[in-house]
Chains A and B, each alone.
Chain A
Amino acid sequence: MNFLLANLLSEPVGVAHYMVVGAVLFTCGIVCMATKRNALGVLMGVELVLNGANINLIAMGSPYLQGENATLGLDGQLMALFVIVLAAAEAAVLLAITLNFYNSAGSVDIDQADQLRG
């Protein structure tokens, strides 16, 4: 780990640095999903995971970072935009689920949503 960080700090900012940020964001999102008992917190964790992935996509598709010929054009940005749209839709669905859950259970604690327990 030492040598990896050393390399990163000594190099100019490139794709790897973006990927590290994306990975950190992704991990934060996962941890947030795995630890939060509040449904809204879980929703935020989901957003973090999606945005971590978005950073990777943008970095990979960036002509500034990869050079004109090393990329596939605007593909990375396009996919990121797609993810953003999906995230919005998904957030709406999740919010609706949460609202319904609250109506039935009187709380947004996801530990109570265990009806599918085996």
Chain B
Amino acid sequence: MDLQTWLPLLLGLAWLLPLASFAIVSIGGSLPQIQGHHASYRSQKIAGVVASAACGASFLLSLLAMAIWLTNHPLGAEHPGGHPGTAHAPPHYSGDFYSLASFGDLHLAIGYYIDTLTVTMFCMVTLIATCVHVYSWGYMHEELADVVDNEVATRDGKALHRPGRYHRFFQYLSLFTFSMLGVVIAGNLAMVFVFWELVGICSYFLIGFYIERPSATNAANKAFIVNRVGDFGMLIGLMTLWSSLGTLHFDQIFPQLAEPASAGGLSYPLLVVAGIGLFCGCIGKSAQFPLHTWLPDAMEGPTPVSALVHSATMVAAGVYLVGRCYPIFVPEVLLVIAVVGAITLAMAATIAITAVDIKRVLAYSTISQLGYMMLSLGLGGWVAGLFHLITHAFFKSLLFLCSGSVIHAVHTNDLREMGGLRKKMPWTAYTMLVGCLAIIGAGVPAWGIGFSGFFSKDAILEQAWSFAGANPAPVYGLLLWVPVAGAMLTALYMFRLWYLTFAGEPRNADRYAHAHESPLSMIAPLVLLATLAVSIGWVWPFSELSVTSLLEQARPAGTQETVQGEWLSSLTIPDEHLSHAPEIQVPAGWTTFSAAMGGLLLATMTYLWKWLRAEEIRQSFRPIHSFLWNQWWFDELYDWTLVKPTLWLSRFFASIDHWLIDPLVHGITHVSRLVARLLDSLLDRRAIDGSLHTLADQTWNTGLSLRQLQSGSLRQYVLFLVAGTLGLFAVASLYWKFAVAG
């Protein structure tokens, strides 16, 4: 079978099916509105089914592509980068679907670059998207009829009534799935950038889905604007690459990068600029420090959106791009990535401990886990980072969908209003427990079995251990101990979340009384995702098939060796395979295990057994608590350093407008009006109107005087006749006498 033909065809179809569903749903939803009424219940239902079917079909096509790939490239048979010093590209297929334009050297095309990373990401994205679509049938069912939004007050103080937007939701979900798959399949960085922005705009639409709520529109704007900051850096990176390499195609960039600068490769400073630039885009999209503030606010969107867009796929796109462009990054840039990742994971984990909004806890947890991935990639753990991306996508979408199920049942996000819900909604509670165990990396290091997070997080920690071993400087040691502490914090905040929600006694009896288990369309995706959250890290029985071996096959050329920094000569990025050595694996595994168990124990003691009183801890660490409660004051910091000055500047320019430009324009207007009035009175009224009026008056007077002749008396007329005749006769005679006869 010809893979060069079949893989682009299958994945291209899988990529375009959601676009087709977007077109069908948006046209079908708009047609009734043109006629002046809203989409019917039935047609909205159909929209949901169409979108979900398209996603499901994409998933099947991706699975087929995966099967075809595996039959042609057996795992473990090829180790492309396996020989140190040689730079063989991993097996991949690239080309252009459609050429858009050529400007000189710049060739813009809709292309594809397919390796196992692409295929794996396709399967993951389409599977989670399908689950979320199905879940949304149940979660969004209120949107099928007219909605009363209690969070929005109209002008007369009542709650807002509006038509449902069920089909609109699926329309955006489809567009998002298409865009996300576009990022994954893209064959060149220009196309990545286009779809990068497309997922951004979809995220904007979906965060602002409840557009009548001011908080939702603000959050959508914030997400969009903050991402622009990162994309600015990304554009710089793209331009650096293009201006020095003359191409943005992956399959042309990577071989050139391996060459020295004299032979057409990039010089070292340019590589640093390109790497940092690209990473700036990833900071924005993956909500890394310092651009992470948009993600917690993005939780204003419906919960399925948080599950799909803001935890599993879109925010992982930044990590994916770092992984995809890995050969571009030199050791110094990798160090920057690792440091940013470490800061992010620690910061977000601490904030998550104090948050009381169930979705915000998960949002900060997402930021923290993305920090883990970045850290891992930065430390040289390419497979570990992307492996964590895949496992995290499953357990975090599971956790979000569970939280959605809870919110659906109790109609609040506030953890303080929940408690004891496991009796009311056992399916949700225990699938969420599975998700929590997966995210903290529960497993037994001695036996090597555990939840999916156990494998991926261990891989990251092993790489960090290996890095710390290769770089003895104590500063670099922080990059090991921060993630270890993060593992403990992860266990602490995740189980705090679970205990507060499901364990103990109900804290709000009213909400507890109305709570109920969610419908089957919501439970089924939870169960499926829970199964995967447990098992996605495992090796397929009696084969070598596992996510790690799949990713191993896509390992970029040149990463299979230990590299030294050129500027920071003490910096060593160790070969990832070195981290599999038992002298690293065993202590790293046990350290992670004990850290996670410590966090779990702390959470259990505090929130389940109540040996420690959370209230007292809060009191005794009041300054720290308020620091964390206010999310490290980042929003206030940005507000004071960026937003407020911008507003002041805008106001300053507005006042220039108001006090300088406006009076000038108004003055000119006044002068023009005066001149016009002058001209009007002098020229128009006096000269032109005057002469016309005089003429009219004269004509009128002449008419009046001539009127006297018409006396109406017949006898007078007879006299006039006679006099006239005589007069004519006299004139004729005189004329005859003097003029003619001479």
Contact = CB atoms under 8 A, between A and B. Distances in A.
A52 B712 CA distance: 27
Nearest to B707: A118
Interface in A10-39: 30, 33-37
A57 interface: no
A37 B706 CA distance: 25
B709 A113 contact: no
Given A30-B722, A34-B719, A34-B722, A110 B709 contact: no
A36 to B, nearest CB: 8
Contacts of A116: 710, 712
B265 to A, nearest CB: 109
Contact of A113 (B706, B708, B714, B719): B714
Contacts of A111: 713-715
A110 B711 CA distance: 12
Given A34-B719, A34-B722, A114 B713 contact: yes
- Which of A34, A110, A111, A115 neighbours the largest number of chain B CB atoms within 10 Å of its CB? A34
A109 to B, nearest CB: 10
A108 to B, nearest CB: 12
Interface string A78-118: 00000000000000000000000000000000110111111
A94 B718 CA distance: 16
B710 A117 contact: yes
A42 B714 contact: yes
A33 B715 CA distance: 7
A1 B671 CA distance: 84
Interface string B499-516: 000000000000000000
A34 B708 CA distance: 19
Nearest to B709: A118
Interface string B692-731: 0000000000000011111111110011001000000000
A30 B707 contact: no
Contact of B711 (A30, A35, A37, A117): A117
A95 B614 CA distance: 131
A97 to B, nearest CB: 11
Nearest to A42: B714
Nearest to A46: B718
B715 A114 contact: no
A114 B711 contact: yes
A118 B706 contact: yes
B707 to A, nearest CB: 4
A50 to B, nearest CB: 14
Contacts of A114: 711-713
B708 A118 contact: yes
Interface string B268-282: 000000000000000
Contact of B715 (A110, A115, A117): A110
A110 B714 contact: yes
B701 to A, nearest CB: 14
A22 B624 CA distance: 142
Of A42, A116, A118, the most chain B CB neighbours within 10 A belong to A118
A10 B714 CA distance: 41
A35 B715 contact: yes
B483 to A, nearest CB: 115
Nearest to A116: B712
B724 to A, nearest CB: 12
A118 B713 contact: no
Interface of B: 706-715, 718-719, 722
20 contacts: A30-B718, A33-B715, A33-B718, A34-B719, A35-B715, A36-B715, A42-B714, A110-B715, A111-B713, A111-B714, A113-B712, A114-B711, A114-B712, A116-B710, A117-B710, A117-B713, A118-B706, A118-B707, A118-B708, A118-B712
Interface of A: 30, 33-37, 42, 110-111, 113-118
